[in-house]
Amino acid sequence: MSGQWEVVGKKKGNSKLPVPKVSAKDNSNVKSPVNGSKIEDSYPKLPEKVAGVEPKIVQEVKKSQEKSKLKLRKPQRNDRPSEPQKPKSPKSIETGLNSIDVKEFESIYETSKNRYPDAPIVWLKELVYFLNQKMSLEIQDPVFSSKPQGYPISAVPSELRGVIEKSVKEAGKNNAQQFFDFCLTSMATDMGKGLPALGYKFFLQYIALNEPVLITSNVNKHRVLRNSYQNRLNIGLSILWAVGNVAYSDFNSGVTVFRELFLPVIDIKSYSPYILSYLKNLISNSGDGNGILTKEDFLLILDIIYTSKKHFPVDLLRELSNKVSNLKPLLFVDNKEKYHSYIELLLKKVVSTSNKSHQNCLCDILVEVFQRDSTTFATWRKIYPKNVASSVILLEFIGDNWDTISKRIDRAALKDLLNSFQDVNDELSTKKRKEDGLRESINAIQKINEKMAAKKKSSSSCRTLSLLVIIALAGLVLFDIKQNTWDNSRTRKALKDYRVCEYSQKALNTTREGLNWLDGRIEQNFPAFRKTVIDFSEPYVELAISTGKITRNGFYNMKEVVLEKYPLVLQSIESYAPGLMEQSQKALSDVYSSSVLYCNRGIDYLRKEVFVGQLSPENVQRVVIEAFNTTQQKATEYYHWIYKKVQTTIK
């Protein structure tokens, strides 16, 4: 072998094949044998006319070639097995809850509890994932505005809800707080991904209703989460709804959540209807008296109710203004707070708003403060020179509503206050720079003084007239009895005709029987309590009896003195004015007879012309009895219906 390279299998002679020359024009129509080849090019072409072959045979060959082309072009069938169908989503929340197997739900809880005994949050996560899977329906209304309060946890069957309650209680408060934060964040995340998140809402609502203080302690963290999803309306509303459930069990927690979480987004048009509805429900649930409202929060709520922002729903603002009276008792619950600090704050607030209803509400609060502590007038007197304009609004409010306000405040203290205001106004009038509202203040003070004087005059006139009427009636009765005997007197006859004595006796007997029955029941059920009450009240009863005897003896002594001195008085009057007593007796007799006559005519007219037909005493009595019987029947039916519902729920 030689050490040189050799080329094997290649002949030198015919190594190069002739390549036909193709022009550029023809090269454009030539297709690449790899990329530009067509399926038709792989079949042999038949000439139109072949020697010795008939045209029919040529056509049949072409048809067979076309069929084979179609078979090659037809896509291949996918023979992979189809995926199993997903379970259908329930049509409603109630349907989905009723379809859940409670035993399966409870077994999941028990299994995870036994597997992870020291990780309560893992138990709760397993339950909430199960609910998300079973309740995979699309919720159009994230805040359930058309449903009653407490929904959807109120729609959960009792057995299923029992498992939820048991799991949260056994997890403990600290774990429940952490799990609430986890559910709130996971709900927002899953809703952003389009995943089912209804299971989170059941646990969020239950924890918020039962542990409101735990929720408000992390309100800053919830505010950060709300800011992250503020532009996603359904997620933002769901976060507000979940945290806002605390208001239905604790008023103070509801106010905190409203101030920290709801108020910053109230100006956003898409959020304002729900936030105002939440505020309305919060005020409506404040009637239990357990909440305390600071004056700052009270003024904040009033600013929202009496706002002039146009994008707030008018109907909700109207409903809120009607519920302001529910907030006033909460403002005065804390008796330790001194009311003197309210005066200057409210006066400055009065002049800062132009809404008349808002001003009237603030003025009414100030009047309430004056009613509870009259020493607050001194605070008003002290700050009056620097708050003349705002004081004018309050003075005009007092003057316009004097008939009701005069019964609520100390009129003597108000009188002294107005006198001091007049002195201050005289001093301010001498200055070159006039205070705003000084002239209006002088007019308002004058108006109140005039009403106080007129009220005092009219009240004294009414008292005098009432006393004279009572004395005149007593004199007429005494004159009637004195002129005739008691059996023949017109007074006894009138009382007998109108059956006053009979009905009085019946009322007395009925009252006596009722008291005896009540005493028997108390003695039967609470013997020790009855004995204690008797021992405590016996000295006071004896004192009342002794006082009654002394009063009766005093009247008897007075009567004897009158009877003794009466002839002497008549004799003296007769000596000074002869015939006066006789004429007076005759005039009184005529007046009494005329009054009795017209009274009888009036009664006859009412009996014959007014109280007839449907207004007759018989019909009125029948209607009242029927209404009472119907009410009693409906109340009994309603009681039985509630009893059955409660028994069904317990079972």
Q: Minimal CA–CA distance to 259: which of 225, 282, 238?
A: 282
Q: Burial of 171 by CB count in 10 Å (0-12 exposed, 13-18 middle, 19+ buried)?
A: buried
Instruction: Give the position of tokens 């042999």.
Output: 44
Q: How far apart are CA 74 and CA 272, in angstroms?
A: 60
Residue 510 pLDDT: 83
pLDDT tens digits for 34-73? 444 444 455 455 444 444 445 555 566 555 655 555 444 5
Residue 2 CA to residue 323 CA, distance in Å, equals: 117
What was the pLDDT predicted at 183? 96
Q: Dihedral of CA 387/388/390/394: which sign? A: positive
Residue 255 CA to residue 153 CA, distance in Å, equals: 22
Nearest C-alpha neighbor of 262 from the set 237, 283, 295: 237
CA gap 312, 315 in Å, rounded: 9
Q: Can you give 427-470 as a three-state secondary structure string?
A: HHHCCCCCCCCHHHHHHHHHHHHHHHHHHHHHHHHHHHHHHHHH
Helices (H), 231-271: 233-244, 251-257
Six-digit token pair at 487? 């059996």
- List the chain residues with pLDDT less than 70: 1-88, 287-290, 334-337, 455-465, 467, 475-489, 498, 607-620, 639-640, 643, 645-651
Q: How large is the C-alpha radius of gyration of the chain?
A: 48
pLDDT of amino acid 511: 83
Angle between helices 340-352 and 356-372 (to 10 degrees): 170
Express each pLDDT in 294-330 by its tens digit: 889 999 999 999 988 888 999 999 999 988 888 888 8
> What local confidence, expressed as pLDDT, does residue 25 receive?
42
For the whole model, what pTM was predicted?
A: 0.59
Structure tokens at 44: 């042999």
Which residues are within 8 A (CB) of 72 and not within 5 positions of it... i.e. 6 or more apart? 39
User: CA-to-CA distance for 243 and 174, rounded, in angstroms?
Assistant: 17
Q: What three-state secondary structure class fits 75?
A: coil
Per-residue pLDDT, 456:
57
Instruction: List CB contacts of 597: < 8 A, sequence separation 6 or more.
Output: none
| Helix or strand run (H / E) with residue 477 | helix 438-483
What confidence score (pLDDT) does residue 639 get? 66
Q: For residues 268 and 230, give the distance between their C-alpha atoms in angstroms, rounded to a whole number.
A: 10
User: Torsion angle, CA of 390/393/394/398, rounded to 10 degrees?
Assistant: 160
Name, in order, each residue with C-beta under 8 angstroms of 401's C-beta and a sequence gap of 6 or more.
none
Residue 269: the pLDDT is 92
For the chain, give every domain's residue range.
89-265, 338-482, 494-596, 611-651
Enter the tokens of residue 170.
Answer: 């056994």
